[in-house]
Amino acid sequence: MRRRRFLAAATAAGLATPVLAQAQDVTRSDKAAYRLTTLSRDLEQPWGMAFLPDGRILITERPGRLRVFADGRLQRAPVGGVPKVYARGQGGLLDVCLHPAFAQNRLLYLSYSAEGAGGAATVVARAELAGDGLRNVTPIFEALPRASGNLHFGSRIAFDRAGLMYVTTGERYQMRRAQDLADLAGKVIRLRDDGSVPPDNPFVGRAGARPEIFTWGHRNPQSLAMHPVTGRMWLAEHGPRGGDELNLLVAGANYGWPLATHGIDYSGAKISDHKSLPGMEDPVRVWVPSISPSGLCFYTGDRFPGWKGSVFTGALSNEALFRIELDGERYRSEERLLVGRLPYIRDVRQGPDGLLYVVTHADNGGLFRLEPA
Protein backbone atom coordinates (compact mmCIF):
# COMPACT_ATOMS: atom_id res chain seq x y z
CA MET A 1 0.00 0.00 0.00
CA ARG A 2 2.87 2.40 0.85
CA ARG A 3 4.37 1.79 -2.61
CA ARG A 4 1.01 2.57 -4.27
CA ARG A 5 0.78 5.86 -2.36
CA PHE A 6 4.35 6.73 -3.44
CA LEU A 7 3.57 6.05 -7.11
CA ALA A 8 0.41 8.14 -6.93
CA ALA A 9 2.35 11.00 -5.35
CA ALA A 10 5.02 10.79 -8.02
CA THR A 11 2.41 10.95 -10.75
CA ALA A 12 0.68 13.90 -9.10
CA ALA A 13 4.04 15.69 -8.88
CA GLY A 14 4.51 15.41 -12.62
CA LEU A 15 7.14 12.66 -12.51
CA ALA A 16 7.14 9.59 -14.68
CA THR A 17 6.57 6.36 -12.82
CA PRO A 18 10.02 5.43 -11.53
CA VAL A 19 11.68 2.42 -13.07
CA LEU A 20 13.77 0.70 -10.44
CA ALA A 21 17.21 0.16 -11.93
CA GLN A 22 17.38 -3.45 -13.06
CA ALA A 23 20.80 -5.03 -13.63
CA GLN A 24 21.17 -8.02 -15.91
CA ASP A 25 23.62 -10.90 -15.61
CA VAL A 26 27.35 -10.33 -15.86
CA THR A 27 28.79 -10.21 -19.38
CA ARG A 28 32.51 -10.69 -19.98
CA SER A 29 34.17 -8.86 -22.86
CA ASP A 30 37.79 -8.83 -23.97
CA LYS A 31 38.95 -6.38 -21.30
CA ALA A 32 36.11 -5.92 -18.85
CA ALA A 33 33.19 -7.61 -17.14
CA TYR A 34 30.03 -5.52 -16.99
CA ARG A 35 26.34 -5.48 -16.24
CA LEU A 36 23.68 -3.69 -18.23
CA THR A 37 21.28 -1.71 -16.04
CA THR A 38 17.93 -0.39 -17.23
CA LEU A 39 17.23 3.15 -16.03
CA SER A 40 14.12 4.00 -18.06
CA ARG A 41 11.96 2.53 -20.82
CA ASP A 42 9.64 5.53 -21.17
CA LEU A 43 11.39 7.45 -23.96
CA GLU A 44 10.04 7.92 -27.48
CA GLN A 45 12.79 7.73 -30.12
CA PRO A 46 15.57 9.25 -27.98
CA TRP A 47 18.41 10.72 -30.02
CA GLY A 48 20.99 12.61 -27.95
CA MET A 49 22.15 13.09 -24.35
CA ALA A 50 23.97 15.68 -22.26
CA PHE A 51 24.94 15.49 -18.58
CA LEU A 52 24.23 18.55 -16.46
CA PRO A 53 26.69 19.54 -13.71
CA ASP A 54 24.15 18.57 -11.02
CA GLY A 55 23.94 14.98 -12.33
CA ARG A 56 20.71 15.28 -14.31
CA ILE A 57 20.64 14.03 -17.90
CA LEU A 58 19.04 15.90 -20.77
CA ILE A 59 17.69 13.57 -23.47
CA THR A 60 16.22 14.61 -26.82
CA GLU A 61 13.29 12.75 -28.35
CA ARG A 62 13.05 12.96 -32.12
CA PRO A 63 9.33 13.97 -32.18
CA GLY A 64 10.38 17.26 -30.55
CA ARG A 65 10.67 16.90 -26.78
CA LEU A 66 13.60 17.52 -24.43
CA ARG A 67 13.37 15.25 -21.38
CA VAL A 68 15.12 15.21 -18.02
CA PHE A 69 16.29 12.11 -16.13
CA ALA A 70 16.89 12.97 -12.48
CA ASP A 71 17.06 11.13 -9.17
CA GLY A 72 16.55 7.74 -10.76
CA ARG A 73 13.49 8.55 -12.84
CA LEU A 74 12.41 10.23 -16.04
CA GLN A 75 10.50 13.41 -15.30
CA ARG A 76 7.07 13.31 -16.86
CA ALA A 77 6.93 16.90 -18.09
CA PRO A 78 9.34 17.79 -20.92
CA VAL A 79 11.46 20.92 -20.83
CA GLY A 80 9.46 23.88 -22.14
CA GLY A 81 10.48 26.24 -24.91
CA VAL A 82 11.89 23.72 -27.39
CA PRO A 83 11.60 25.12 -30.95
CA LYS A 84 9.18 23.60 -33.40
CA VAL A 85 10.80 20.78 -35.36
CA TYR A 86 10.14 19.02 -38.65
CA ALA A 87 9.52 15.54 -37.23
CA ARG A 88 9.24 13.41 -40.33
CA GLY A 89 11.35 10.51 -41.54
CA GLN A 90 14.82 11.01 -40.10
CA GLY A 91 14.04 14.60 -39.15
CA GLY A 92 13.10 16.00 -35.77
CA LEU A 93 14.86 17.02 -32.58
CA LEU A 94 18.36 15.57 -32.81
CA ASP A 95 21.36 16.43 -30.64
CA VAL A 96 21.82 18.42 -27.44
CA CYS A 97 25.15 19.85 -26.32
CA LEU A 98 26.15 22.04 -23.39
CA HIS A 99 28.25 25.17 -23.77
CA PRO A 100 31.75 24.55 -22.32
CA ALA A 101 30.98 27.20 -19.66
CA PHE A 102 27.45 25.94 -18.99
CA ALA A 103 27.93 26.01 -15.21
CA GLN A 104 28.34 29.79 -15.46
CA ASN A 105 26.14 30.80 -18.42
CA ARG A 106 23.49 28.00 -18.56
CA LEU A 107 23.71 27.92 -22.37
CA LEU A 108 23.01 24.83 -24.43
CA TYR A 109 22.59 23.98 -28.12
CA LEU A 110 19.99 21.91 -29.95
CA SER A 111 20.27 20.55 -33.47
CA TYR A 112 17.04 19.75 -35.29
CA SER A 113 15.33 19.79 -38.64
CA ALA A 114 13.07 22.74 -39.38
CA GLU A 115 10.78 23.50 -42.28
CA GLY A 116 10.61 26.73 -44.26
CA ALA A 117 10.28 28.06 -47.79
CA GLY A 118 11.75 25.45 -50.12
CA GLY A 119 11.68 22.54 -47.68
CA ALA A 120 13.58 21.51 -44.56
CA ALA A 121 17.14 21.90 -43.29
CA THR A 122 19.31 21.09 -40.29
CA VAL A 123 19.27 23.96 -37.78
CA VAL A 124 21.21 24.70 -34.59
CA ALA A 125 19.68 26.90 -31.90
CA ARG A 126 21.27 28.31 -28.76
CA ALA A 127 19.18 28.65 -25.60
CA GLU A 128 19.45 29.24 -21.88
CA LEU A 129 18.23 26.55 -19.49
CA ALA A 130 16.25 28.32 -16.78
CA GLY A 131 14.30 26.21 -14.31
CA ASP A 132 12.11 23.79 -16.23
CA GLY A 133 12.29 25.57 -19.56
CA LEU A 134 14.40 27.19 -22.23
CA ARG A 135 14.50 30.92 -22.81
CA ASN A 136 16.15 33.19 -25.35
CA VAL A 137 16.00 30.41 -27.93
CA THR A 138 17.91 31.69 -30.96
CA PRO A 139 18.65 29.80 -34.20
CA ILE A 140 22.32 30.49 -35.02
CA PHE A 141 22.93 28.17 -37.98
CA GLU A 142 20.93 26.64 -40.85
CA ALA A 143 22.32 24.19 -43.41
CA LEU A 144 21.08 26.02 -46.48
CA PRO A 145 19.70 25.61 -49.04
CA ARG A 146 16.55 23.95 -47.76
CA ALA A 147 15.27 20.93 -49.70
CA SER A 148 12.28 18.62 -49.92
CA GLY A 149 12.45 15.15 -48.43
CA ASN A 150 12.97 13.87 -44.90
CA LEU A 151 16.31 11.99 -45.01
CA HIS A 152 19.93 12.64 -43.99
CA PHE A 153 19.90 15.61 -41.64
CA GLY A 154 22.95 14.50 -39.57
CA SER A 155 23.45 15.88 -36.90
CA ARG A 156 25.84 16.02 -33.94
CA ILE A 157 27.36 18.96 -32.05
CA ALA A 158 30.71 19.02 -30.22
CA PHE A 159 33.07 21.69 -28.85
CA ASP A 160 36.85 21.69 -29.04
CA ARG A 161 39.33 22.98 -26.47
CA ALA A 162 39.30 26.45 -27.98
CA GLY A 163 35.54 26.70 -27.40
CA LEU A 164 34.69 26.35 -31.09
CA MET A 165 31.59 24.41 -32.07
CA TYR A 166 31.45 21.68 -34.73
CA VAL A 167 28.16 20.61 -36.34
CA THR A 168 27.65 17.71 -38.75
CA THR A 169 25.11 17.96 -41.56
CA GLY A 170 23.79 15.24 -43.86
CA GLU A 171 23.60 15.70 -47.62
CA ARG A 172 19.80 15.24 -47.54
CA TYR A 173 20.00 12.11 -49.72
CA GLN A 174 21.15 14.32 -52.59
CA MET A 175 24.69 13.02 -52.84
CA ARG A 176 26.21 15.67 -55.12
CA ARG A 177 25.50 18.36 -52.52
CA ALA A 178 28.35 16.96 -50.42
CA GLN A 179 30.83 18.08 -53.13
CA ASP A 180 29.44 21.62 -53.47
CA LEU A 181 31.31 24.15 -51.36
CA ALA A 182 28.52 26.69 -51.88
CA ASP A 183 26.15 24.26 -50.11
CA LEU A 184 26.14 23.54 -46.36
CA ALA A 185 24.77 19.99 -46.66
CA GLY A 186 27.14 17.01 -46.33
CA LYS A 187 29.66 18.99 -44.31
CA VAL A 188 31.19 19.52 -40.91
CA ILE A 189 30.63 23.13 -39.85
CA ARG A 190 32.91 25.06 -37.48
CA LEU A 191 31.50 28.09 -35.63
CA ARG A 192 32.04 30.33 -32.65
CA ASP A 193 29.60 29.80 -29.79
CA ASP A 194 27.36 32.59 -31.11
CA GLY A 195 27.19 31.14 -34.63
CA SER A 196 29.72 33.51 -36.18
CA VAL A 197 32.55 32.20 -38.35
CA PRO A 198 36.10 31.83 -36.95
CA PRO A 199 38.54 33.79 -39.15
CA ASP A 200 40.87 30.77 -39.49
CA ASN A 201 38.23 28.46 -41.01
CA PRO A 202 39.76 26.83 -44.11
CA PHE A 203 37.43 28.41 -46.69
CA VAL A 204 37.22 31.95 -45.32
CA GLY A 205 37.79 34.34 -48.22
CA ARG A 206 37.51 31.68 -50.93
CA ALA A 207 35.14 32.68 -53.70
CA GLY A 208 32.17 30.35 -54.14
CA ALA A 209 32.73 28.56 -50.82
CA ARG A 210 30.77 28.91 -47.57
CA PRO A 211 33.09 30.11 -44.79
CA GLU A 212 31.33 27.96 -42.16
CA ILE A 213 32.70 24.75 -43.72
CA PHE A 214 35.47 22.85 -41.92
CA THR A 215 35.37 19.57 -43.92
CA TRP A 216 33.26 18.35 -46.86
CA GLY A 217 32.33 15.25 -48.83
CA HIS A 218 30.27 13.63 -46.05
CA ARG A 219 27.12 11.56 -46.48
CA ASN A 220 25.17 11.40 -43.20
CA PRO A 221 27.39 11.81 -40.12
CA GLN A 222 25.64 11.08 -36.83
CA SER A 223 28.73 10.69 -34.61
CA LEU A 224 31.20 13.37 -33.50
CA ALA A 225 33.65 13.64 -30.59
CA MET A 226 36.90 15.30 -29.61
CA HIS A 227 39.90 13.10 -28.79
CA PRO A 228 40.63 13.73 -25.09
CA VAL A 229 44.43 13.67 -25.55
CA THR A 230 45.09 15.21 -28.96
CA GLY A 231 42.08 17.54 -29.04
CA ARG A 232 41.37 16.54 -32.64
CA MET A 233 37.82 15.89 -33.84
CA TRP A 234 36.68 12.41 -34.93
CA LEU A 235 33.54 11.52 -36.85
CA ALA A 236 31.66 8.39 -37.89
CA GLU A 237 29.18 8.48 -40.74
CA HIS A 238 26.67 6.33 -42.54
CA GLY A 239 27.73 5.07 -45.94
CA PRO A 240 25.25 3.81 -48.53
CA ARG A 241 24.86 0.02 -48.72
CA GLY A 242 28.21 -0.67 -47.11
CA GLY A 243 31.01 1.79 -46.61
CA ASP A 244 30.32 3.28 -43.17
CA GLU A 245 33.35 5.27 -42.08
CA LEU A 246 35.34 6.38 -39.03
CA ASN A 247 37.18 9.59 -39.92
CA LEU A 248 39.76 11.87 -38.34
CA LEU A 249 38.91 15.43 -39.33
CA VAL A 250 41.52 17.57 -41.11
CA ALA A 251 40.73 21.23 -41.76
CA GLY A 252 39.62 21.76 -45.36
CA ALA A 253 39.74 18.05 -46.25
CA ASN A 254 37.37 16.39 -48.72
CA TYR A 255 36.15 12.97 -47.49
CA GLY A 256 35.09 11.84 -50.90
CA TRP A 257 31.36 11.20 -50.91
CA PRO A 258 30.07 10.29 -53.47
CA LEU A 259 33.18 10.33 -55.71
CA ALA A 260 35.02 7.80 -53.54
CA THR A 261 33.16 5.20 -51.48
CA HIS A 262 33.33 1.56 -50.44
CA GLY A 263 29.55 1.20 -50.69
CA ILE A 264 26.99 0.69 -53.41
CA ASP A 265 23.47 2.01 -53.93
CA TYR A 266 20.58 0.27 -52.17
CA SER A 267 19.43 -0.89 -55.61
CA GLY A 268 22.75 -2.68 -56.04
CA ALA A 269 23.99 -0.15 -58.60
CA LYS A 270 27.55 1.13 -58.45
CA ILE A 271 27.98 4.66 -57.11
CA SER A 272 31.66 5.12 -57.93
CA ASP A 273 34.54 3.15 -59.39
CA HIS A 274 36.82 4.62 -56.73
CA LYS A 275 37.37 3.75 -53.08
CA SER A 276 40.11 6.36 -52.79
CA LEU A 277 41.11 9.38 -54.85
CA PRO A 278 44.10 11.75 -54.84
CA GLY A 279 43.45 14.87 -52.81
CA MET A 280 40.72 13.21 -50.74
CA GLU A 281 41.01 11.95 -47.19
CA ASP A 282 40.77 8.19 -46.64
CA PRO A 283 38.80 6.88 -43.64
CA VAL A 284 40.56 5.43 -40.60
CA ARG A 285 38.11 2.51 -40.59
CA VAL A 286 35.54 1.28 -43.12
CA TRP A 287 32.68 -1.08 -42.28
CA VAL A 288 31.35 -3.31 -45.05
CA PRO A 289 28.62 -4.37 -44.55
CA SER A 290 27.27 -1.28 -42.83
CA ILE A 291 26.82 -1.03 -39.07
CA SER A 292 25.06 2.40 -39.14
CA PRO A 293 27.20 4.17 -36.50
CA SER A 294 25.44 6.68 -34.27
CA GLY A 295 26.89 8.50 -31.29
CA LEU A 296 30.61 8.57 -30.46
CA CYS A 297 32.61 8.89 -27.26
CA PHE A 298 36.17 8.35 -26.08
CA TYR A 299 36.29 6.56 -22.75
CA THR A 300 38.51 8.32 -20.20
CA GLY A 301 37.15 6.95 -16.91
CA ASP A 302 38.62 4.64 -14.30
CA ARG A 303 35.61 2.38 -13.73
CA PHE A 304 36.60 0.22 -16.73
CA PRO A 305 40.44 0.33 -16.75
CA GLY A 306 40.68 -2.07 -19.69
CA TRP A 307 38.50 0.19 -21.81
CA LYS A 308 40.41 3.40 -21.15
CA GLY A 309 41.23 5.14 -24.41
CA SER A 310 38.66 3.15 -26.38
CA VAL A 311 36.18 4.71 -28.80
CA PHE A 312 32.54 3.68 -28.48
CA THR A 313 29.80 4.00 -31.08
CA GLY A 314 26.30 2.65 -31.32
CA ALA A 315 25.58 0.41 -34.30
CA LEU A 316 21.94 0.80 -35.34
CA SER A 317 21.82 -1.91 -37.97
CA ASN A 318 24.17 -4.23 -36.07
CA GLU A 319 22.20 -4.06 -32.82
CA ALA A 320 25.41 -3.67 -30.84
CA LEU A 321 27.74 -1.24 -29.12
CA PHE A 322 31.16 -1.16 -30.80
CA ARG A 323 34.34 -0.67 -28.75
CA ILE A 324 37.20 0.41 -30.99
CA GLU A 325 40.90 0.46 -30.07
CA LEU A 326 43.24 2.90 -31.77
CA ASP A 327 47.01 2.87 -32.09
CA GLY A 328 47.62 6.60 -32.05
CA GLU A 329 45.51 7.75 -34.99
CA ARG A 330 45.33 4.34 -36.64
CA TYR A 331 42.65 1.69 -36.27
CA ARG A 332 43.81 -1.38 -34.33
CA SER A 333 40.84 -3.59 -33.45
CA GLU A 334 37.25 -3.65 -32.21
CA GLU A 335 34.77 -5.77 -30.34
CA ARG A 336 30.99 -5.82 -30.25
CA LEU A 337 29.18 -5.45 -26.95
CA LEU A 338 25.49 -5.93 -26.13
CA VAL A 339 24.98 -7.87 -29.36
CA GLY A 340 21.25 -8.39 -29.93
CA ARG A 341 20.41 -7.14 -26.42
CA LEU A 342 19.71 -3.48 -27.22
CA PRO A 343 18.38 -2.73 -30.69
CA TYR A 344 19.12 0.63 -32.31
CA ILE A 345 21.65 2.24 -29.98
CA ARG A 346 21.42 5.88 -31.06
CA ASP A 347 23.83 7.56 -28.66
CA VAL A 348 26.56 6.60 -26.19
CA ARG A 349 28.09 8.93 -23.60
CA GLN A 350 30.43 8.69 -20.64
CA GLY A 351 28.79 10.00 -17.51
CA PRO A 352 30.51 12.04 -14.81
CA ASP A 353 30.55 8.85 -12.71
CA GLY A 354 32.84 7.15 -15.24
CA LEU A 355 30.10 4.79 -16.45
CA LEU A 356 28.74 4.44 -19.99
CA TYR A 357 25.18 5.44 -20.86
CA VAL A 358 23.27 4.56 -24.03
CA VAL A 359 19.84 5.34 -25.44
CA THR A 360 17.91 3.16 -27.88
CA HIS A 361 15.99 4.69 -30.76
CA ALA A 362 12.51 3.17 -30.64
CA ASP A 363 8.95 4.22 -29.82
CA ASN A 364 9.53 2.48 -26.48
CA GLY A 365 13.15 3.55 -26.29
CA GLY A 366 15.18 3.41 -23.14
CA LEU A 367 18.11 4.76 -21.16
CA PHE A 368 20.65 2.17 -20.04
CA ARG A 369 23.93 2.12 -18.12
CA LEU A 370 26.95 -0.18 -18.32
CA GLU A 371 28.45 -0.89 -14.89
CA PRO A 372 31.56 -2.89 -13.92
CA ALA A 373 30.91 -6.36 -12.50
Q: Which residues are catalytic?
A: 152
Report how far apart the first and last C-alpha atoms of the chain are (Å, whole number): 34
Rounded Cα gap, residues 326 and 331, in angstroms: 5
Rounded Cα gap, residues 276 and 152, in angstroms: 23
Determine how many CB atoms are found less than 10 A away from the CB of residue 72. Answer: 11
**AA letter at 79:** V
User: Cα dist. 42→77, 154, 235, 368 in Å?
Assistant: 12, 24, 29, 12
Contact present, 249 and 233 (Cβ < 8 Å): yes
Partners of residue 367 on adjacent β-strands: 40, 359
Partners of residue 287 on adjacent β-strands: 244
Determine how many CB atoms are found less than 10 A away from the CB of residue 178. Answer: 26
Of 253, 271, 254, residue with least CA distance to 262: 271
Contact present, 323 and 306 (Cβ < 8 Å): no
- Three-state SS at 27: strand
**AA letter at 15:** L
Distance, CA of 143 to chain centre: 17
Determine how many CB atoms are found less than 10 A away from the CB of residue 198. Answer: 15
